[in-house]
Amino acid sequence: MKLITLLLSLLLATQVIVAQDFRKFDAVPHYAKEISFIDEFDDNHNEWTIVKYLEDDVRESKIKNSTYRLTSYDGDESVVEIKSGFGYPYLKDFEIETSIQHEDYQKDHGNGLIWGMSSDGQKGYAISFTQSGYYCIQQMQNGIESYLVDWTYSDLLYEDDYNDLMVRKVGDWYHLFINQNHVYSFPYEPLAEDQDITGFYAEGTSISIDYIKVTSINANKLQTYQPTATTAPKQQVAYQQPKKDTRALVITNPVNNNQQQKAGTYHALIIGVQNYKDNSVKDLQFPLRDANNFKDILVQKYGFKLQNIIFLEDPTRSEVLKSLNTLREHVKHDDNVVIFYAGHGYYDQKVKEGYWLPSDAVAGDDSNWLANANLSTKLKGIDAKHILLISDSCFGGSIFKPSRSAFADAERSITNYYEKRSRKGMTSGTLKTVPDESVFAKYLLKNLQQNKQKYLTASKLFYSFNDAVANNSENAPQFGTLHNVGDEGGQFVFINMLAE
């Protein structure tokens, strides 16, 4: 079914923010109505699908505490529960109501209500929302998928509570509500008898459904509301979110210069190693300070969410590898990842290999060291749009792809850089050891903190401070494309949430 295919890929597509006419009218007027169908999930008399824990690799579903709970174990997979027999195509006017709570940590993943789907999957509708405050409205007509409302931020949505969704059909119009507030209207097209397939979906999340209800209404007693063309689908225009939540890249487009591209989620793995278990490796004094300062800047200035940051303090080799596996499991195709390491590094000139030294490293024994080759393998498995590796340690040049020029086309727009996948890295230098008080970290953090630009590419960040590092230390910082891990010429872009 193509509508289900659309739902499976909702948040993998480029997200465009649009303005809507949020005209409100009485969401619960007094008029004659009669319940045609209701399920409050006190039991399973309507025979919803039940999949017990670990019976399926992807899905779990159950009825408990008067709710129907639907879970997708796989962050990349949607699970859908749909049924027929609701009967609303036979009703002159009707309402479909449900109440859904998003209960998982994947706040940017979609879930919602499907209705009006035909048995051949060629027609249908969906209203969806995320826990981070976005919603969208879709339709499938004659097998062609489209958005009536693209992903749009709204403060009508509750983050940690049930959200009530209602579809009201009156006359020739659908009116859609979120928590009793009107958000959109569009023309109603008659439903065929088989076009009452209705249900729910969850993408890589767990949701609880409190109830679902279909009500026949008497529109003659409905309070007057005359939709106008302003509530029908209209041309996309820029919608201004609160500054602290804005994460959109302006696209240079000759047709519509106000169009925006919604950036994916920003993730970080931050590693600080300064206390070593074996006396053969000297303890350091400042990596944890630098790692904490880097984390604070990402959160306070660049809009990273704490739940999307993995912070490792004096980790072992195994703990670093497990965290890279966690990124692989949870990072989406359009997401962005920055990996920061501060600690001892070593470059073996004989084998041309660079290493990180985790807290369980022993001098002269590389069995607990983390080699460039190991790291490259892990990075290949992370399906992010952009990965930026920042290593404040000796890392050598073996991880970088040979190139005469890292950025031959320095004049491309921010959006062009963002659209293409990237795998870039910057390191503090080429010496076998680096000073305890890192000049590289000092100027990296300083330039991130003092940056006033809205969009800062990784290369522009590096070239804003590399000369200062070289002039004030014996190290020569390096920047380039990571070798053989999927770079396509793009760049990681820091988005300054405090910029005017």
Which tens digits make up the pLDDT trace of 450-460? Answer: 999 888 999 88
Q: How far apart are CA 389 and CA 269, in angstroms?
A: 10
pLDDT computed for residue 99 by the predictor: 96
Q: Return the domain boundaries, the chain.
A: 2-238, 244-495
If one counts every other C-beta atom within 10 angstroms of the C-beta of residue 160, the result is 8
Show the low-confidence residues of the chain (pLDDT under 70).
1-32, 75-76, 105, 219-262, 394-417, 430-436, 500
**Residue 339 phi/psi, 5° resolution?**
-115, 125
What secondary structure, in 3-state letters, does the chain show? CHHHHHHHCHHHCCECCCCCCCCCCCCCCCCCEEEEEEECCCCCCCCCCCECCCCCCCEEEEEECCEEEEEECCCCCEEEEEECCCCHHHCCCEEEEEEEEECCCCCCCCEEEEEEECCCCCCEEEEEECCCCEEEEEEEECCEEEEEEEEEECCCCCCCCCEEEEEEEECCEEEEEECCEEEEEEECCCCCCCCCEEEEEEECCEEEEEEEEEEEECHHHCCCCCCCHHHCCCCCCCCCCCHHHCCEEECCCCCCCCCEEECCCEEEEEEECCCCCCCCCCCCCCHHHHHHHHHHHHHHHHCCCHHHEEEEECCCHHHHHHHHHHHHHHCCCCCEEEEEEECCEEEECCCCEEEECCCCCECCEHHHCEEHHHHHHHHHCCCCCEEEEEEEEECCCCCECCCCCCCCCCCCCHHHHHHCCEEEEEEEECCCCCCCCCHHHHHHHHHHHHCCCCEEEHHHHHHCCHHHHHHCCCCCCEEEEECCCCCCCCCCEEECCCCC
Which class is domain 2-238?
mainly beta
Tell me the sheet residues that pair with 164.
Answer: 99
135 with 129: CB under 8 angstroms? yes
Parallel/antiparallel/unpaired status of strands 345-348 and 353-356: antiparallel
Between CA 236 and CA 99 the distance in angstroms is 29
For the domain spanning 244-495, the CATH number is: 3.40.50.1460
For residue 312, what pLDDT is reported? Answer: 96
- Please count the other Cβ atoms lying within 10 Å of the Cβ belonging to residue 196: 24
Side chain identity at residue 288, one-letter code:
L
Q: What is the pLDDT of residue 408?
A: 34
Give pTM, 2 decimals: 0.51
Is residue 259 within 8 A of residue 238, CB to CB? The reply is yes
Task: Please report the pLDDT score of residue 112 as a whole number.
Answer: 93
Give the whole-angstrom CA distance, residue 39 versus residue 447. 57
Q: Which residues contact 303 (CB under 8 A, 6 or more apart)?
A: 244, 245, 247, 266, 495, 497
pLDDT at 216: 92
Same fold, 2-238 and 244-495: no
Phi, psi of 358 (to 5 degrees): -65, 180
> Would you say 219 and 93 are in contact if contact means Cβ atoms under 8 Å apart?
yes
pLDDT at 237 (0 to 100): 29
Among 197, 191, 146, which Cα is nearest to 172's? Answer: 191
